[in-house]
Structure 1
Amino acid sequence: MSDNAKLTRSKLPISGRIVMFFIRHVQQAMASMGELWRNPVSSVMTMAVLGVSLSLPAALQVLVKNAETITSSWNSAAEISLFIDENRSDQTIQSLLTRIRTYSEVDKVQYIDRNQALEEFQRLSGFGEALAYLDKNPLPAVITVTPTPRYSTPVGARELLSKLEREPEISFGRLDIEWLERLQAVVRLLERTVMAIAALLVLAVVLVIGNTIRLAIMNRRTEIEVMKLVGATESFIQRPFLYTGIWYGVIGGILAWIIINLLVWYLDSALAELLGLYGSQLEMKSLTFMELLQLVGLASFLGWLGSYLSVRQHLRAIEPS
């Protein structure tokens, strides 16, 4: 910045300086956007690379989010079956049902007597004719207990099962939840995979933007030398390149959001068909508006960081001859 410009700025009041500060930033931000469109091929290729790079961890995050939704909707699978001693009277069983319903961990209780259990087994097993030859019903009465959401996790359901099995009328209980534990283990593995891939791709985004800004600095070397010769400050020279990195990040983040929405639209029908086979009806969720803002904000920061590191390194090496 020249001495006359510094003198003019010093005469301005504080409010005027603030206004000029913002005006200068807006001008340089718009100028950097124009610089992108003056090199459309390289700009579009860089933005496409950034969009794909950012869409991969974001798409995996969407996958994890939908997997968590599915597992939470299947928490009712943590249903506990309690088999009652054969010699218990109906009055004793009713007293047991009343006690179980008072448990704070229990959401719903259903009683299936021995005749109902036999009818259901005949319907589902296909051995109806063979069971007709039995002298007596071999099946016990069963109480099915649905835990509250807090106790629908594998750990909570096992705690509740252990508590229920201490009731004297209960012969034993059963909790078929191993498959849900495996599914939750897969979800946890996906979460860690997302974090690892995201870290690698964040580094890739910073490197791509840094290299792009380095090439832009080299192409404008003569212009930078002239600016330094007339007294331009380092911040004034750096600012357009920093805004260029930010623009790359913003547009790359928006492209990533578009890619993710296209993937969700493409996979939604296949996922609905798969879940329908398991008696579940869930719609695949994409990024929310808040998550979109977070994605674009992160991409903007990465664009600024990559350009800042590149500018700090390469501008120092350029001096007017």
Structure 2
Amino acid sequence: MAPSFENFQRRRLISSYFSVVLSIFLVLFLLGALGLFVIHSEKISNSFKEDIPMSVYFNDEANDTILKAFETKLKGSPFVKDFVFVSKEDAAKNNKDIVGEDFLEFLGMNPLPNSFDIHLKSEYVESSKIKQIESDIKTNEMVTEVIYDKKLVELANENIKKISFWILVISSVFGVISMLLINSSLRLSVYSNRFIIKTMQMVGATKSFIRKPFVWRSIRLGLIGSGLAIIALIALTFYVDGMFPKLGIAKDYLSMFIILGGVLAVGIIITWISTYVATTRFLNLRTDDLY
């Protein structure tokens, strides 16, 4: 009968440990993933802004010298991230690939102009700055038209500010919830040992002596949960980096160190504080209150 009871107690203890580690792992993983998103939110928004193209079209009188001079000007412009020259012939070929028909056959001429597709640096993708750039480009008499999605630029800047604000709010709320969940799991774990705590106290053990093994056990569980969360976060980082290599998330070692170090620190600190408070509470309870 005794071995059966001991096995039951052992299984219950393992189940309790497993639930605590699982809670710590899930909470810290979600918190770390949110932290990665917050840290790299500026990169994400900048990448989106820099993907908005500006097309500059030239009239047919613009010769190679004029086009080369404009290209040289773009290379020296602080607002240009990159650009591509699209010749009349390339534009016709691209149109043929999209439409599936060669319009040159029945038109007998190529009406498409030479153009430059420009991607601006993110800090210049704002309504006031991009209008100034547009005005500057239009001072060139050979430029017939400058086209970019004005509405998309406005929406990008407005929504990015809103999203950044709500991310900070959600992060704060989630951080509090995370601490409460881990604290609850650890308190339940200590609660299951409340009679052992009180028995040790009744036979003369000091509070610090009773508290110490519980605190160290919780810290070990916190380390295991944090370690699993760190492994999962590293895997997530490399997965996202493979999906969006332009962001260079996996190569941002400082951000990775901050997030992973933060996850480890939170796992240790919360488990230590929660267990310390929980054991102190049961140590201060009267025996009748344990029931």
- Using the size of structure 2 for normalisation, the TM-score is 0.69
Question: Which of the two has higher C-alpha Rg?
Answer: 1
Partner of 2:179, secondary structure, is helix
2:214 to 241, 246, 250: 241
Structure 1 distance, partners of 2:130, 2:58, is 17
Structure 2 distance, partners of 1:104, 1:81, is 17
Residues 186 and 274 in structure 2, CA contact (< 8 A), matched pair in contact too? yes
Residues 202 and 302 in structure 1, CA contact (< 8 A), matched pair in contact too? yes
2:117 to 126, 144, 156: 144
Residues 80 and 146 in structure 1, CA contact (< 8 A), matched pair in contact too? yes
1:155 to 117, 120, 125: 125
2:71 aligned partner: 97
Alignment of 1:54-65 (within 5 A): 54-61=28-35
Note if 1:298 corresponds to 2:266: yes
Note if 1:77 corresponds to 2:51: yes
State the one-letter code of the partner of 1:117: A
Provide structure 2 residue ranges, at least 5 long, that are not aligned to the other structure. Answer: 1-9
Measured against aligned partners, the alpha-carbon deviations of 1:90-138 in whole angstroms (never above 9, x if no partner) come to 444333333333212224443333333223322333231x332225432
Note if 1:206 corresponds to 2:183: yes
Distance 1:132 1:64, change over 3 A: farther
Structure 2 distance, partners of 1:165, 1:86, is 21
Cα offset, 1:221, TM superposition: 0.9
1:32 aligned partner: none
Note if 1:220 corresponds to 2:197: yes
Note if 1:311 corresponds to 2:279: yes
Structure 1 distance, partners of 2:249, 2:73, is 40
Note if 1:256 corresponds to 2:233: no
Partner of 1:256, secondary structure, is helix
2:144 aligned partner: 171
1:124 to 93, 98, 102: 98
Among the aligned pairs, what percent are the same residue? 18
- Using the size of structure 1 for normalisation, the TM-score is 0.64
Structure 1 distance, partners of 2:110, 2:132, is 28
Partner of 1:294, secondary structure, is helix
Structure 2 distance, partners of 1:132, 1:236, is 93
Residues 22 and 225 in structure 2, CA contact (< 8 A), matched pair in contact too? yes
Residues 268 and 283 in structure 1, CA contact (< 8 A), matched pair in contact too? no
Structure 2 distance, partners of 1:260, 1:105, is 35
Structure 2 distance, partners of 1:282, 1:92, is 35
State the one-letter code of the partner of 1:295: V
Structure 1 distance, partners of 2:69, 2:239, is 48
2:17 to 38, 43, 66: 43
Structure 1 distance, partners of 2:27, 2:75, is 53
Measured against aligned partners, the alpha-carbon deviations of 1:181-221 in whole angstroms (never above 9, x if no partner) come to 49968974667545543431221111211232233233321
Distance 1:102 1:142, change over 3 A: same
Distance 1:295 1:138, change over 3 A: same
Measured against aligned partners, the alpha-carbon deviations of 1:286-315 in whole angstroms (never above 9, x if no partner) come to 995664333122111110121122233222
Structure 2 distance, partners of 1:37, 1:99, is 74
Provide structure 1 residue ranges, at least 5 long, that are not aligned to the other structure. Answer: 1-35
1:115 aligned partner: 89
Distance 1:191 1:135, change over 3 A: farther
Partner of 2:117, secondary structure, is strand
1:6 aligned partner: none
